[in-house]
Structure 1
């Protein structure tokens, strides 16, 4: 089982972010319509954030338990457990929760210091780069949240067009 290169995994990560824009749009629209939110500063915005956290969890757990998200299919990347078998929904949920290490450390630093937009973007972007580069120190070049969750990303063969 071959680990995809870091650049390919990060390209998949960025593509996943673009696809998630549609998920956020639809989920946010449903929440704000059904909840009759009037504006972004509505007192229910924290509830919206919690709702999106759950929606993202459902999205990722569903697709990872099937082996690939839409972005992973595009980049020929598959998720498996340490033995190379498909992962369970429980393991996919653990990976989802652990994958928040991509964002929680900088978000925890942004809140108490009330950093501005550019400062926040720089902090989050810098942490993403650092976290991605830390994969170089894993024996199989896997991301550390994968190692902790007992999962690994592998190169998969493209589907034949028969």
Structure 2
């Protein structure tokens, strides 16, 4: 198999996972305002009231957030870690592919959530199950050509390393 051009090489797993954790931290800021507005407009008094409608709203908000930034090439954490998302040919994503990638990225969470649904698991058990699945899913990328995550392979996208050109920096 020929080596990938330097411009299409995947960032290290460590950088991709650091970006993933940073993204997860920022998600609080992305969902808190829509969640607050939803709670006020629906006069929600208990966390389980209107739960499914709120989940659907936040799912859509996150789809718009990720879709918008992936079409532009990078979210803030991706810029920080010098990672860009492109299609298989190295071109920027269009909305349909960005939304497909968003839907397929839920594979990081849906299998363990489905596995714990029929059982009454403690918080610690849920943490171990979710954490274990995430570790396994991340490590599986090491066996994929180009070391891409499986949702990227299925969506026809790839994460590439976009290290800045340090020779252009002012001293």
In structure 2, what is the equivalent of residue 128 of structure 1? Answer: 134
In structure 2, what is the equivalent of residue 47 of structure 1? Answer: 53
Task: Work out which of the residue numbers 21, 24, 32 in structure 2 matches 1:17.
Answer: 24
Alignment of 1:57-76 (within 5 A): 57-76=63-82
Cα displacement (A) at 1:23: 1.1
Query: What RMSD, in angstroms, separates the aligned Cα atoms of the two structures?
Result: 1.4
Question: Is residue 10 of structure 2 the alignment partner of residue 8 of structure 1?
Answer: no
SS of corresponding position for 2:89: coil
Distance 1:54 1:35 in 2: 17
Question: Which of the pair has more CA radius of gyration?
Answer: 2
Distance 2:27 2:130 in 1: 18
* Structure 2 unaligned residues grouped into runs of 5+: 1-7
Map Cα deviations across residues 5-54 of structure 1 (whole Å, 9 max, x no partner): 00000000000001101112112111111111112122x11111111111
Map Cα deviations across residues 59-112 of structure 1 (whole Å, 9 max, x no partner): 101100110011101111000001100011100000000000000000001111
In structure 2, what is the equivalent of residue 114 of structure 1? Answer: 120
Count of aligned positions: 161
Normalised TM-score (structure 1): 0.95
Distance 2:73 2:45 in 1: 39
- Runs (4+) of structure 1 moved beyond 6 Å? 159-162
